Structure 1
Amino acid sequence: MSVAGRAVRETFSGLPAAYWWLWTSTLVNRLGGFVVTFLAMYLTVERSFSASYAGLVAALYGLGGSVAAVIGGVLSDRIGRRATLLAASLATAASTAVLGLVTQPTAIAVTACGVGLASNASRPAVSAMMADLVAPEDQIRAHSLNYWAVNVGFGVSAAAAGLISAHGWVWLFLGDALTTLLCAMVVFVRVPETRPSEAGTGGTAPVIGLSQVCRDRPFMALVALTFLLGTIIQQAFTTLPVDMGRSGFGASDYGRVVALNGLLIVLLQIPLARWAGKRGTDAVLPLGALLLGWGFGLTAFAGTSGPAGPSGSVWLYALSVTVWTLGEIVYTPASAAAVAGLSPLPARGRYQGVHALAWAAASLVGPAAGGAAMDRFGAGVVWGACAVVGTAAAGGFWALTRRPV
């Protein structure tokens, strides 16, 4: 067998069939993830609402997702991962279809919050299910493959959404709802319940409440570090385009640069999954934090136009995106795997829910903090702060993974 063939086999083999059906449901769901990406454009172009109203709706969607992170985690431990995933998928399909039909501003805002609540409630269930199904030594690889499916689905759905919207915006909402139903069907037919009490292991384990989860110091340290890195990642979609615009670049330049992120994830996630899986979270987490922090830090040099003018530094923007994307590729799955390793069997859903809450909180705080810092101190300070935070997070992960047992 060739070296390439052996690498492919090592990457994809050894994972249980139930995991691959769960992976398939994720891919199907993301292939139809039209609405979130194009919601702002739908509200401003099709419905003629203001940009501020579109921002409010997006914030309400994020608020629903933040609440759902904890609710979904608790339900995953109480009623089961499969039941939570099915209920969340059905609720997401129904609320997404309604969102495409309502026209009143208040109804749209409330429904968008409901969509965020329903769609994000499934995430802790999926992560807990993967932790139940996959052996500890394969956690990074399993989460990497799942993250790859998410990004492939996102790329395809973003491309298809433009074609579908030409036939009417309502079809975006109905198509999204249909793929979510297909996701639920795959789970219903092929994915078993994996909660320990129902899977035949650990049924007598004591219940662990959220207060106990929050008193788990190593885990909460991981959550805090995740929040810090999440605020850095948010700069890619908020302060980065502003910085490029102020440096003389247009929307097409930003589009090409940020498209590198998705392209690199699709091309490199699977090869790097095998590499990261062999090294474990104690090596991968600090490395990912450094690449994220210093990748965004490089943007400070890209924003300074040289003698060639603005176009002469677009490659530095591309370089910075490449570096922090490598960090995202290795860090994100390793972070989820670390949560699986820290969480006890009866509380895996709760642990994944609190961890997901860190990402949701970062999506709310990161854009506001980055924008305010850019206006007050300038872009150089923002990108320098990203490098400092990434370095500090790397040190935190290094200390966390080497703590005495």
Structure 2
Amino acid sequence: MTRWWSQTAGGLPRTFWYLWTATLINRLGSFVAIYLGVYLVSVRGLSPAYAGIVIGLHGAGSAAGGVLGGIVADRWGRRPAMLTGNVAAAAAAMALGLSGHPVAIAALTLLLGLCLGVARPAFTATVIDVVGERDRLRALTLNYWAINIGFAVAATVAGLLVRVQPLLLFAINAAVLLGTAALIGLTVPESRPAPVTVAQVARVDSGGLGTVLRDRVFLTFTALTGLAWLCIESSAMLPVALQADGLPASAFGPVIAVNGLMIVLGQLFVPRLIGRFDRSRTVAVAVVVIGAGFALTALADAVWFYALTVGVWTLGEMLMTPSNSALTADLAPAAQRGRYQGVYSLGHAFASFAGPTLGGLVAARFSTDVLWLGLFGLALLVAVGNLLAVRPRARRIAALRAAAAPAALREAAALA
């Protein structure tokens, strides 16, 4: 066990562990995003429809903030984006908890999503900056593990806080965001790679997204990732399927808990399982597993069967997520990592909105069984797309490494 832990978590730089700790702390206190809908309906007395709109605004703000934060991270630095984003998000969270007017709640929710989004691309870009290419899959997997541990704990604690004093959701979340900013400010140095060529200087100084938007390989990758996540986000329709089978709505809790439990207990075994395989092919296999899990859901008629199907598509999620994160790092030029991360986040933002929305429409117009089988078909198409992209991505990665090699040699010579 000691040897396995050393191979899983050993040898990573100290800065990464500061970032990992910041992730865990941040997610342990992410109460607002988890319980916002419940708070708006049960505490503020707003309609479910309005609560849905407000939650959608949070997602829209996060998507816009991701793009903006990526540009800030590349042009002015990782630290300014992370520190400004977390401190501003803390202020927005506290103001949201104190606000009772529906318009103010909507505006502050949009602002909160925007500020949180600003910090995220810089955070991931910093992890990529400080961890060597050989160890990135391990590092990104460990970070994903911390996210899920924090989410599981936060979901439990938030349920208790909303009963005791709803304002605590916002006050503690704000304090955690400030604590995250303090930890980063005190321990994490600026890691943005210095541009070494005239072309790199011009691209960074332009501050725009032109480089990313002209990168067809990366945009295709982002689109395929978004469609894969759309399948997972459509699991929001599981309570509808449970009720259609005559099962209690309360069964959704233990069923979906399988997802978090598997990730927390098993995610650290994934890097050794997939590390030696091509990442695009691994993603293709993972997406097929995700699709198979949802196809099985069409056959489920008991709580244990539904839990089994969640376990199947969760296995696919566990294989896909670190592989996609590593591919994002591989496909992004060092000088534009922030904005590449920002654009990549749009795929997940799209899925967070489209999964429940389109899933609900299909379930209402046809049935949940049609939805699950449709997701299986979509997953197969995404898998084929990833297989077709193997060679273009390999050429893109090889070109980036070839371009980076002279810069690395010049930096080493300068240090010598």
| TM-score, structure 2 as length reference | 0.90
* Separation in 1, partners of 2:107, 2:28: 25
- Between 1:287-296 and 1:73-82, the stretch displaced more is 287-296
Question: What are the equivalent positions in structure 2 for 1:226-375 lying under 5 Å apart?
Answer: 226-237=225-236, 239-302=237-300, 305=301, 313-375=302-364
* Preserved CA contact (<8 Å) 2:63 2:349: yes
Shift of 1:401: 2.1
Is it true that 1:122 corresponds to 2:119 in the alignment? yes
Which amino acid is the alignment partner of residue 359 of structure 2? G
Shift of 1:402: 2.9
* Separation in 1, partners of 2:387, 2:87: 41
SS in 1 for 2:242: helix
* Preserved CA contact (<8 Å) 1:64 1:117: yes
* Separation in 1, partners of 2:280, 2:137: 12
Unaligned stretches of 5+ residues in structure 1: 306-312
SS in 2 for 1:196: coil
Alignment match of 2:64 (pick from 44, 64, 67): 67
Alignment match of 2:201 (pick from 168, 185, 206): 206
* Preserved CA contact (<8 Å) 2:41 2:51: yes
Shift of 1:227: 1.2
Which amino acid is the alignment partner of residue 29 of structure 1? N
1:321–1:281 CA distance, 2 compared to 1 (3 A): same
SS in 1 for 2:104: helix
* Separation in 1, partners of 2:7, 2:159: 37
- Between 1:88-97 and 1:127-136, the stretch displaced more is 127-136
4+ long deviations beyond 6 Å: none
* Separation in 2, partners of 1:172, 1:355: 29
Shift of 1:280: 4.6
After superposition, the C-alpha distances for 1:261-297 in whole angstroms (9 at most, x for unaligned) are 1111100011123323343513421122111111112
Which amino acid is the alignment partner of residue 111 of structure 2? G
Question: What are the equivalent positions in structure 2 for 1:84-123 lying under 5 Å apart?
Answer: 84-123=81-120
SS in 2 for 1:103: coil
* Separation in 2, partners of 1:42, 1:154: 17
* Separation in 2, partners of 1:102, 1:274: 48
* Preserved CA contact (<8 Å) 1:88 1:122: yes
1:284–1:218 CA distance, 2 compared to 1 (3 A): same
* Separation in 2, partners of 1:142, 1:340: 12
* Preserved CA contact (<8 Å) 1:90 1:181: yes
* Separation in 2, partners of 1:366, 1:377: 16
* Preserved CA contact (<8 Å) 2:39 2:162: no
* Preserved CA contact (<8 Å) 1:140 1:276: no
Alignment match of 2:384 (pick from 371, 395, 403): 395
Which amino acid is the alignment partner of residue 255 of structure 2? V
Question: What are the equivalent positions in structure 2 for 1:67-216 lying under 5 Å apart?
Answer: 67-197=64-194, 202=196, 205-208=200-203, 209-216=208-215
After superposition, the C-alpha distances for 1:238-258 in whole angstroms (9 at most, x for unaligned) are x22111111111122111100
- Between 1:279-288 and 1:365-374, the stretch displaced more is 279-288
* Separation in 2, partners of 1:141, 1:236: 27
* Separation in 1, partners of 2:385, 2:283: 10
In structure 2, the residue matched to 1:309 is none
* Separation in 2, partners of 1:329, 1:318: 16
* Separation in 2, partners of 1:368, 1:190: 41
* Separation in 1, partners of 2:305, 2:160: 33
1:10–1:202 CA distance, 2 compared to 1 (3 A): farther
* Separation in 2, partners of 1:245, 1:122: 39
* Separation in 1, partners of 2:151, 2:22: 14
Shift of 1:8: 1.0
* Separation in 1, partners of 2:142, 2:277: 16
In structure 2, the residue matched to 1:14 is 11
Alignment match of 1:26 (pick from 23, 32, 41): 23
* Separation in 1, partners of 2:123, 2:326: 13
* Preserved CA contact (<8 Å) 1:196 1:203: no
SS in 1 for 2:376: helix
* Preserved CA contact (<8 Å) 1:285 1:334: yes
Provide the aligned C-alpha RMSD in A. 1.5
* Preserved CA contact (<8 Å) 1:65 1:119: yes
- Between 1:376-385 and 1:100-109, the stretch displaced more is 376-385
In structure 1, the residue matched to 2:219 is 220
In structure 2, the residue matched to 1:310 is none
* Separation in 1, partners of 2:284, 2:29: 34
* Separation in 1, partners of 2:112, 2:184: 20
Aligned length: 389
* Preserved CA contact (<8 Å) 1:127 1:336: no
SS in 2 for 1:301: coil
* Separation in 1, partners of 2:231, 2:92: 31
* Separation in 2, partners of 1:331, 1:266: 15
* Separation in 1, partners of 2:264, 2:214: 37
Shift of 1:165: 2.8
Is it true that 1:40 corresponds to 2:37 in the alignment? yes
Shift of 1:167: 3.0
1:111–1:202 CA distance, 2 compared to 1 (3 A): same
SS in 2 for 1:324: helix
Shift of 1:321: 0.3
